Amino acid sequence: MQNMTELVTPSTSRLIDEDVKPGQNAETTADLSSIVTDQLRVSAEEVDFEDYLRASFSYDKAGRRAVCVDQVVEKLPQGAAVLDAGCGTGNYMTALVNSGKCSTYIGIDINEGMLYHAKQKATQLRAVENQSCDVTVIAATLLEELPFEDNVFDMVLFNQVLPHVCDIRVFDKLKYINKMMSEFQRILKPGGYISLNTCSHEQLSAVWYNNALPEATEMLKKRTPDVEDVKEILGNAGFSDITAVRDDKPLLGKEFWKYETCFTESYRNGDAIWTMASDEEYSKGMMTMKYALREERETFDTIARAGIEKSGCTTQMFGRKA
């Protein structure tokens, strides 16, 4: 088994429920006191996105799940070393470690709230009898050189992270993405894969609650390169054998279709689109959905399902290092 220390370079909401007062969260108040976070660092990398420190405590409850796991596992060699870049709460961790194909699994994220939960999952996995995978979770940024040696990973996972790295405040909004892909190339072994899950612009438009927040959805599209653009980014970084296949399973799983739950904070914490909306758009969108679900529910459901049937929910992409 390759130990994590052998891979590391030595040098190196605004949205609340009506019954919760501003600045408080009934689910998270006690838990937050146990986490120390570099707020300046987090703020620099979560511009226009939700407070993931707070959201992390209901992120999994919202239904967030790993998608396309079978396709990912199929690409893994036996005894694989995997880096989950932007691991969040570690939703891919359990599935990949339990596949029996990983010898090393490292999850990195910038947010201490997400890491808090990922570390709990890692501890549970390490406690499993006959568990042969070295599972580690560490704090690290994707905007700088990664703290790993060259040619050490068989796969880099990069799931639903593109909007967080695309910087629309500067002229070249892809500059951090391009640098990051070069870093992925550096740390991957020859023949290793980047596994990237994203949403096409058509898929973003198909999400039923996005339809109620058109301005925020357009902003999200600006921060999310479309699939053909991602292919070009991967190609420019030196990846080959690039594939892109749509997947029809929602990121929120079966919770995605429980429409009324969008009126709870815990559900909204599962998707950053809610905090990208202005106060005016948010209020208008919520009123629109409340009316539609009360007066035109059957039509609402038909339109919501037709959109997903046409476009799918996410796009799973792979690129191979020569």
- Asked if 92 contacts 68 with a C-beta cutoff of 8 angstroms, the reply is no
Alpha-carbon span 74 to 41, nearest angstrom = 36
Q: Hey, how many other C-beta atoms are within 10 angstroms of the C-beta on 185?
A: 20
Alpha-carbon span 80 to 101, nearest angstrom = 6
Domain map (residue ranges) of the chain: 38-200+222-255+313-321
Alpha-carbon span 264 to 40, nearest angstrom = 28
Domain 38-200+222-255+313-321 has CATH 3.40.50.150: yes
Alpha-carbon span 53 to 67, nearest angstrom = 23
Give the 3-state secondary structure of residue 85: strand
pLDDT along the chain (322 residues), means of 10: 51 32 34 41 46 68 88 97 95 92 95 90 89 92 93 97 86 91 98 98 96 95 96 97 97 93 87 89 95 96 96 98 95
Alpha-carbon span 76 to 101, nearest angstrom = 7
Alpha-carbon span 183 to 89, nearest angstrom = 23
Predicted pLDDT of residue 27: 36
Q: Whole-prediction pTM value?
A: 0.84
Alpha-carbon span 142 to 261, nearest angstrom = 32
Predicted pLDDT of residue 113: 86
